[in-house]
Amino acid sequence: MDLRKLQRVVIDALEDVKAQDIRVYDTSKLSELFDRVIIATGSSNRQTRSLAMSVKEAVNTKGGEVIAIEGLETGAWVLVDCGDIVVHILQPTLRSYYQLEGMWGAKPVRVKLAGSKGLAKASESEEGE
């Protein structure tokens, strides 16, 4: 799956479970291991776990691969490794404390969220193709 499509699938999956403050960063110049970092906030342990599982299911359904998921035990900070994209899902206090945007946020990627301006979700756009 190409990077842009994978990015859209991940964002849609996060939005489906009401993730807050979704941010996407281009890390291709910072790390050879992955090209994007997506950071999102979940309001509770249950929601962070649900967000991670939503990402996993959506990526797998679209033919991508989730390499690993870390942090499901506690749900405070869950990391989903999708190969070219690493997704960090944190509760608000941890996100504020660790400030991952400071580490990975040198080059933000502008993306439109599905809730704004009627952007079609990846699942909807493929139906018309």
**For 8-50, what is each residue's pLDDT tens digit?**
999 999 999 999 999 999 999 999 999 999 999 999 999 999 9
Query: How many folded domains does the chain comprise?
Result: 1
Question: Per the domain annotation, does 73 fall within a domain?
Answer: yes
Q: Could you list the residue range(s) of the whole structural domain that residue 108 is in? A: 3-112
- Taking the model in full, what pTM does it have? 0.86
Question: Per the domain annotation, does 102 fall within a domain?
Answer: yes
CA atoms within 13 A on the CB side of 31: 17
CATH of the domain at 55: 3.30.460.10
Place of tokens 């964002």: 11
CA atoms within 13 A on the CB side of 81: 8
Question: Per the domain annotation, does 74 fall within a domain?
Answer: yes
